[in-house]
A and B are shown apart, each in its own frame.
Chain A
Amino acid sequence: MTSSAIGPDIFAYDVGEFWDEMFTPECIARPHYASLVRELRTLSPGEVERRQRAADLSFQARGITFAVNQAAEGAEKIMPFDLVPRIITAEEWRKIELGLEQRVRALNLFLDDIYHHTRILRAGVIPVDVVLGSRGYVREVHDLDVPLGVYTHVVGSDLVRDSSGDFYVLEDNLRTPSGVSYVVENRRVLKRVWSQIFHDYDVRPVEGYAQDLLEVLRAVAPEDAEGEPTVVLLTPGVHNSAYFEHAFLAKGMGVQMVEGTDLFVDDGFVYMRTTSGPERVHVIYRRVDDDFLDPLAFRSDSILGVPGLLASHRMGNVSIANGIGAGVADDKAVYAYVPTIIRYYLDEDPILPTIKTYLPTVREDFQFIMDHIDELVVKAVNESGGYGMLIGPHATSAEREAFKVRIRANPRGYIAQPTLALSRHPCWVDDHFEGRHVDLRPFVLYGRNLKITPGGLTRVALRSGSLVVNSSQGGGGKDTWVLAERIGDGGV
């Protein structure tokens, strides 16, 4: 590992048994990383450290923080940022784009179907109880026509690379996916603290996201909205872990960020309370879960929502993004059927593979899970953010037994998947580089057209050996570069 390609100490790096994003197993830089590696080699550990600190300070000063769920009021953390960017080639990106486009179209056709004619259920292609038994299924929006037939205006699907280097879809986030603000902020901060490394690369910009989102939201406004429809962003408030992002997006779009109490419904229309009286609202980009949106229709104890909102929505007087009930399609059990869904509605083969998923409700799968739980990852279907998960190979036998009991008691509540050898990327740890597991969350916008921001959030499991990348579980982020056609200058 000390060939001429390796340089000074800073790169005494262990590629390990995994697919490494930067190096081949022989520890040669992959072509698209070559010039970055060369640049890194010119630095001493002290210089890397200094830039890392400058980046951390910048996040702190700008208040780019997330609140930790359930922690004491006001507890904010910065999301750990790793300096070394993750690079995706134009070819890799093209496949990701096509694959996600196909997937999002199919999922919207699926949502439209199950909330109207339920053809796919009648045809017996997917078991009825998988869909109707999902916590994300909302019968209150049955037979409701949403503008353009779009339910998922913003999608953040998580992709991972396994040991062969292929990308898989790990899960879809169709309700209120977050993280796009970090895509933009990570880029800004990296440019500020380390602009030199951009010189040899033609990196596609990510800045335009908020304006693209606004265009999508305007496109789904109710038909009676004259001129510019009024769009607002509905946030649960400052204690929510993604609050920074809500403010970031509202500002980027130039729209009001509202809390539930800022809105009210009168005679079937939604208004916001302004200093000059009520003002009609046409489109709500909500970052509040379905359950909390309207205390008259859903959880009656919710004061984050707006009483009467669902009725107004059903009358077609206000559009809601993402659509109510979209969560049924990112249910972890429905995930197992997405390839089927794609074939059923589009008559195409899935471009991006999904991960083999075992459903305890299926007899053979159940037995397999019980016998192989020490090799599997078990996930609760109704949780996200890395909560409610068992990673078989890393768990104690007591933890595994406890999960078996839970699965037996509630088979519809869990799924199991093989433990993936997620790819790794060099990350700056203390004073040297170490490999850490990463995933990739691109953001797909869907209005009149589909648009995918070139890049996405690369999340890093910062704890050594950890496979969990969620920020609530100590995950960090990296700037993610999608290259335009020209690739670095090749070679080492």
Chain B
Amino acid sequence: MTLLCRVAENLFWLSRYIERAVSIVRVLDVTAHLELDAGDPGTPDVDFWIPLLGPVLPGVAAQAPQPRPEDIRYFLAFDADNSGSLISCLRNARGAARRVRDSLSSEMWEQINVTYLRLEEPNRFVQLEEDLHGFSRQTRDSLLLVQGLSETTLAHDEAWQFLSLGMYLERTDGLSRLLERQSHLLTSDATSEYGYDAVRWLAVLRSAGSSEAYSRYYSLRVQPVRVLEFLLLNASFPQTLSYSVSAAWHALEAISQESSARSAPPLRALVRARASLEHASIDEVLEMGLKEFLHGIRANIAEASDQIAAAYFRFAPEGNRHHAVARAAQLMAAQQQQ
């Protein structure tokens, strides 16, 4: 079945928002572990989280100058003004899903809808604070079910490849940002096995949903270099950079077979990212500098995303799109129903 450009774009973004939401839930859950493990009353909890959370502080500080853990959790999960919050991601995912609802299975649409509606229920933040683990687990399962339903209730055709592409590109992006924020840990000399750093690296693994897989792979205590090696270069575990980039490439290649030659530029960018992950050893990465290495990957991904949009989502320049969208909303509503 042919695929409309608009539908392809919405599928791609819907999938990115779901994946982003999954990673937010993981981080929420990890914050609970950190609070318990950090233990040092001298260290303000929030300082501990920053490298995991990324640049959330400016956003939180706008509302709470001395943010407490619950302020940060609210910001991450329920702050509708935070475009990167869980609730915003779900709202966007549902919005995109609604626009392409005829292209999704009923099961998948319903699961997205229900996941969103559950978050919208009153007092959800109170419930989160009372039982963070229960909340995270329920929400994460609910989101993973969306991804599972995409796997099992849709034909694996071109439309599905856009879902897959969105998911893996988002994972690549999120993971490389997460790792980039940890690069300062490598330079500190506190490497004691039971010290904070071990706790932090464990938190990094958990944030990436990878702690069990790591242990199985290395049967080692958490060592920064091995953690990095695993998350960057392991080719068989789906939460790693190497795996995600390669999966994104596969999706794009399948799309390009359906849609003639227009895929060449985005494919090239992904090939470069894939090559640097497949051929590098962790020593080379560290020698080059983690930050620089990840920067290179991220640049490739950004380039691929732009080119995907140009090749598949847009035929012609769209002019004053913002204005047009607002006007369209008005006109849609004005259509009389008989």
Contact = CB atoms under 8 A, between A and B. Distances in A.
B6 A262 contact: yes
B259 interface: yes
B153 to A, nearest CB: 13
Contact of B337 (A74, A242, A259, A262): A242
Interface in B97-140: 98-99, 101-102, 106, 109-110, 113-114, 117
A257 B258 CA distance: 21
A251 B102 contact: yes
21 contacts: A61-B110, A61-B114, A63-B98, A63-B101, A63-B110, A69-B337, A70-B333, A237-B328, A247-B101, A247-B102, A256-B4, A272-B2, A272-B4, A273-B5, A274-B5, A276-B3, A277-B260, A289-B335, A289-B336, A304-B332, A385-B336
A236 B338 contact: no
B324 interface: yes
Question: What size tier do the contact residues of chain B reach?
Answer: 35 or more
Contacts of A456: none
B51 to A, nearest CB: 36
Interface of A is mostly: loop
Interface string B310-338: 00100100000000100111011111111
Contacts of A242: 337
Contact of B333 (A156, A239, A259): A239
Contact of A239 (B158, B332, B338): B332
Interface residues of A, number: 55
Interface string B288-325: 00000000000000000000000010010000000010
Contact of B329 (A73, A247, A257, A279): A73
B8 interface: yes
A259 B329 contact: no
Interface in A101-123: none
A275 B255 contact: yes
Contact of B336 (A74, A247, A258, A384): A384
A67 interface: yes
Contacts of B334: 69-70
B5 A262 contact: yes
Interface of A: 60-63, 67, 69-71, 73-74, 156, 173, 175-178, 236-243, 246-248, 250-251, 256-259, 261-262, 272-277, 279, 287-289, 292, 301-304, 330, 383-385, 472
A256 to B, nearest CB: 6
Nearest to A253: B102
A330 B338 CA distance: 10
A275 B3 contact: yes
A248 B104 CA distance: 11
Given A240-B332, A256-B2, A276-B260, A385 B117 contact: no
A261 B6 CA distance: 9
A384 B260 contact: no
Nearest to B161: A275
Contacts of B338: 156, 173, 175-178, 330, 384-385
Interface in B1-41: 2-8
